[in-house]
Amino acid sequence: MAFSAVLLLASLLACGSPPAPQPPHTDSVNLVLGDASFQARFGRSPTARDSEDLRIRVHLEHVLELLRQRPTAHRSPAAREARARNLERLAAYIRAGVFPRNDGHPDARRPTFIDSRGRICAVGYLLEQDLGRGAAEAISAVHKYAFIREIDSPRLTRWAATSGLDREELEMIQPSYPREDYEKQYGPVFSLLEPLDGRGHVSVAPGMLFDGRGDGVPVRLDLSMAFICGCGLGPYASVSLTKLTGAARAASALSNLDVGVVWAEDFFSSTWLMLRGGLLLATGDEDEVGMSLNSAVAAMRPTQAVLFQPGAMGVRTGASVLMMEFFCEDCSLRLDAGLDGYTPFSSSFQLSPRWGAGFAYRVSPYVATLEVGGARYAETLASKSEFHHSVGGSFRLAPDERMSAQPGVSVSVPLEDRLQRWFLGFDVTLRH
C-alpha cells in the first residue's frame, strides 16, 4: 500500500502541475464573434488594406442587429427598457464613429477601455451614460486592456446586472483595437502636392516636360524623404535634379535643398493635421543654363517652385489637413497652405504664399487623384513675382500597408501657359 502511494506521488511529480490557463487573445475584431461581421457584409475576411474604423463599425452594426433580434420575453419590464435604451445608445456611438486604439499593449489587437486621447470603447460608452465618466475612467485605470471576462470590477458587475445585457452580450459588443503603430490607413500619395503628408517615406520621382519646341526634353528628378517617429515628429529633406535630354547641348541643374521638421497627428476620426517648418538652402545652380533649366520645370509642382529660385535662402512653413472617408468611405480630401520667406535671385526678401488641394478615390488597391496647386514666385530675373497654377492627376498602385512601395504615374499642366506645355511623371514611393 505504501509502495503504491509512493508510485502515485512519483507519477504526479513527473507529470508536473497542470498548465496555467492561457489569457484570452484574438487577432480578430472581437473575441467571441471573430470577423464574422466583415465576412457577412463583404463575403471575405478583412485584409491589411481595409480601414480599421470600417472593421470596427461593421462589427458593431452586426452585433447591434444580432442583439435586437434576440427574444426578451423572459426579461423583466425594467430589464427590457434598459436593454432598449442601451441598444439605442450603441447605435448613437456607432454613428459618432470615434473609436479608441490600442496605445500601449504589446498585442497587435487588444480591447482598450479608454485610450490616451480620451476615446472610449463601446462597452465603456454604455456604462458612462449611466454611471458617468468618472466611473468609466476608474475601470479603465485598472482594466484598460482587459477583455470583459477578465474585468473583476464590482462597479461593472452591478451595472451589467441592470443594463438589460448579459455578460456574454457585452463580450460580443467589445471590439479589439489595433496598435497605433500598426495603423496602415493614412490616405493616398499625391503627385502634384508636396510629398510631405505626415507619413515616413522615401520617394524617387522623375518627370518630363513636353512643350513642342523641339529643343530637347528636360527631365526632372525629385528626391524626398521623411522619417516620422511614433510621436508623429521627424525630419524631412527634398531636392531635385534636372537634366536636358535629346538636345544638341547637354545641360543639367541642381535645385535648392529643403530640410526641416514635420509633425502629424490625427485630431479627429479619419482626419489628420500635418505641420512643417524648414530651411531653404541655396544649393541650386546659378549659371544661365542652370537657371533656365530650373525655371522650365518649376511649374511641374508649383508648391515647390521655391526650390528652383537661384540663390534662394530662407524658411518654409506649411500645414496640411487630410480628411479621409470624405463624402464616401473610399474618398479623401487634402488641403495645403504654406508661406515661404526667402531672398530670390540674391535680391530683396520676399514672401511667397502657396496652396494646394487634392481629391482621391480608392478602388483597392488602386488610387486615382485630381489635384491643383499654386504659388507666387518670379520665373526669371526679368519677370515679376506672380501666381502660377498647375492642375493634374495621378494613378497608382497603393497597397496602403504599414510599409509598402507605391508606384504611380502622373500628369500636370501649367494653367497660365494655355496648355502649351505639360509634364508626365513617374514615381516610386516607399511609405513606412
pLDDT of residue 400: 53
What are the Cα distances from residue 296, in Å, to 154, 190, 216, 305, 343?
Answer: 72, 22, 12, 10, 20
Residue at 238: amino acid letter:
S
Domain annotation covers residue 242: yes
Domain annotation covers residue 49: yes
Q: Are residues 201 and 93 in the same domain?
A: no
H helices within 174-325, ranges in order? Answer: 288-297
CATH code of the domain covering residue 285:
2.40.160.40
Would you give the DSSP letter of residue 23? Answer: P
Q: Are residues 419 and 295 in the same domain?
A: yes
302 SS3 class: helix
The C-alpha atoms of residue 253 and residue 292 are separated, in whole angstroms, by 9
Domain annotation covers residue 13: no
At a CB cut-off of 8 Å and minimum separation 6, what does 295 contact?
Answer: 308, 379, 380
Q: Are residues 170 and 301 in the same domain?
A: no
CA quadruple 196, 198, 203, 207: dihedral positive or negative?
negative
Domain annotation covers residue 2: no
Each residue's pLDDT, cut to its tens digit, for the chain (432 residues) gives 454 554 444 444 444 445 556 778 788 899 999 999 999 999 998 876 677 888 999 999 999 999 999 999 999 999 999 999 999 999 999 999 999 988 888 888 999 999 988 999 999 999 999 999 999 999 999 999 999 999 999 999 999 999 999 999 999 999 999 876 544 445 678 888 888 776 788 889 888 888 766 677 888 899 999 988 767 789 999 999 888 887 767 778 888 999 999 998 877 656 888 999 999 998 877 667 777 777 778 888 888 888 888 888 899 999 999 887 777 767 889 999 999 998 876 677 888 999 999 999 988 778 899 999 999 988 776 778 888 899 999 999 876 555 568 899 999 999 887 777 889 998 888 876
CA quadruple 8, 14, 20, 21: dihedral positive or negative?
negative
The C-alpha atoms of residue 122 and residue 93 are separated, in whole angstroms, by 7
Domain annotation covers residue 14: no
Show which of 163, 181, 199 is a domain's final residue: 181
Q: Are residues 120 and 195 in the same domain?
A: no
The C-alpha atoms of residue 56 and residue 393 are separated, in whole angstroms, by 32
Q: Domain span at residue 228?
A: 185-431
Q: Are residues 235 and 167 in the same domain?
A: no
Q: In 213-256, where do the E strands start and end? A: 217-226, 233-245, 251-254
pTM, rounded to two decimals:
0.62
pLDDT of residue 47: 78
pLDDT of residue 78: 95
CA angle in degrees (0–180, nearest 5) for 402-403-405: 135
Q: Are residues 155 and 200 in the same domain?
A: no
Q: Are residues 134 and 195 in the same domain?
A: no
Are 368 and 357 spatial neighbours (Cβ–Cβ below 8 Å)?
A: no
Ramachandran quadrant class, 31 (left: phi over 0; alpha: psi -120 to 50; beta: rest): alpha
Q: Which of 226, 134, 213, 188 is nearest to 393 (CA)?
A: 188
Domain annotation covers residue 348: yes
pLDDT of residue 333: 92
Neighbours of 369 (CB within 10 A): 24
Torsion angle of alpha carbons 141, 147, 148, 149, nearest 10°? -120
- For residue 19, count CB atoms less than 10 angstroms from its CB and return exposed for 0-12, middle for 13-18, buried for 19 or more: exposed
Q: Are residues 190 and 56 in the same domain?
A: no
- What are the tens digits of pLDDT across the range 194-211? 887 767 888 898 888 887
pLDDT of residue 184: 40
Q: Are residues 164 and 313 in the same domain?
A: no
Show which of 181, 198, 225 is a domain's final residue: 181
The C-alpha atoms of residue 122 and residue 113 are separated, in whole angstroms, by 8
pLDDT of residue 12: 44
pLDDT of residue 239: 92
264 SS3 class: strand
pLDDT of residue 230: 63
**C-alpha grid cell, residue 257:** 535643398
Show which of 152, 181, 210 is a domain's final residue: 181
Q: Are residues 198 and 235 in the same domain?
A: yes
Q: Are residues 195 and 290 in the same domain?
A: yes
pLDDT of residue 268: 65
Domain annotation covers residue 10: no
Domain annotation covers residue 195: yes
The C-alpha atoms of residue 336 and residue 313 are separated, in whole angstroms, by 22
Q: Are residues 70 and 137 in the same domain?
A: yes
For the chain, the domain total comes to 2
pLDDT of residue 390: 93
- Residue 102 pairs in a beta bridge with 179
